[in-house]
Structure 1
C-alpha cells in the first residue's frame, strides 16, 4: 500500500452466518477508515457434475437447480448491495477455484487486512476454525481477522 491508496479490506463472502458477521464488521471499518472493500466469493464445480442440474419435483415436474457460479454471483451481488447500504466503497469478484483459501489469499496480495468468518458451510460442526480460515491465517501476507458468533447463554 502506498500512502495515497485507500485502506483495503478483502472479505471472503460465502453467505454463512460467520461470513455475514465478517462482512458487517468490514463494511463499518472500511467506512470509518475511508477505505474500500474487495468482496470475494469463490465457487467450484464438483467433478463430473453437470450444471444447471435438472431435478424431478415431488409432483412429477422438472425444476432447474441454479449453477454454483450463479449462486456465487447472487451472494456477491447481495454483499455489494449491503456494503453500499452501509456507505462503504466496495468491489466484488466471483472466482472459480477449487480452493477458496487460495483465491482469498491471492486476492489479498496488496490488501491491508483480510476478514473471514471462522467457518462456512462445509466441514464438521463444533470446530472453532474451518479449513479455509485456517489456511488464510497461515498464508496471507497481511493481518487476518476471523469472525465467530458470540456463544449463546446456553453454551
Structure 2
C-alpha cells in the first residue's frame, strides 16, 4: 500500500554502517528530486551481555565511565542522519525503535510509504554475505518497492 497523500515517502533503515550511509545518501537524493520526505528508522536492542549500565571500578580504584547504551548510540546515529536530511532542506522524521527485529521496525514504518531504501548489509557478523538478513526480510515482506544499495567497490 502506498501513501494516499501526494508526498512521496521514503523509509530508510539506518544503523550507521557504511551500507546504511550509502542508502541514506541515495534516499536523500531521491527525496530531493521527488520533493518527497524521509522517514529514518534506527532500531536497537539490548543484546544479552553486550552492555551493563553499571559504573565499573578499575583495578586502581578509580571509576570508569561506562560505554553509551545501545539506545544512546542509536539516538546519536539517528540525530546525525536527520542532520544530513536537514542540510539538504528535506522534510524528515526519525524513529529510534527498541525492537528485536530491525526489519520489522522498518516494515512497520513503511506501511504507507512509496519506497524503502536499505543497505545491502549492516553491522552483522557475516561480512562476506552480499545481502544481510535485514535487507532480505525487508525485500520479502515490504508493502512497497524496495531499493537495496551497496557501497562502490574500490
Normalising by structure 1, we get a TM-score of: 0.90
Equivalent position of 1:14 in the other structure: 15
Deviation of 1:138 after TM superposition, in Å, equals 0.4
The corresponding residue for 2:33 is: 32
Matched-pair contact (CA < 8 Å) for 1:55–1:63:
yes
- Could you tell which deviates more after superposition, 43-52 or 109-118? 43-52
SS of aligned partner of 2:12: strand
Normalised to the residue count of structure 2, the TM-score between the two structures is 0.90
Q: Which runs of 4+ in 1 moved over 6 A?
A: none
Alignment of 1:37-52 (within 5 A): 37-47=38-48, 51-52=52-53
RMSD in angstroms over aligned alpha carbons? 1.8
Match 2:88 to one of 86, 89, 92: 86
| Alignment counterpart, residue 98 of structure 2, candidates 92, 96, 99 | 96
Deviations 1:32-84 (A, max 9, x none): 11110000000001236664254556875412111111110110010000101
Match of 1:124 among 123, 126, 146: 126
Q: Which residue of 2 aligns with 1:151?
A: 153
Deviation at 1:149, TM superposition (A): 1.2
2:66 partner SS: strand
Report if aligned partners of 2:45, 2:98 keep a CA contact under 8 Å in 1. yes
Question: Residue deviations 1:8-48, cap 9 Å, x none?
Answer: 00000100001000001101111111110000000001236
Separation (CA, whole Å) in 2 of partners of 1:49 and 1:151: 32
Query: Could you say if the C-alpha distance between residues 151 and 10 of structure 1 is closer, same or farther in structure 2, counting changes exceeding 3 Å?
Result: same
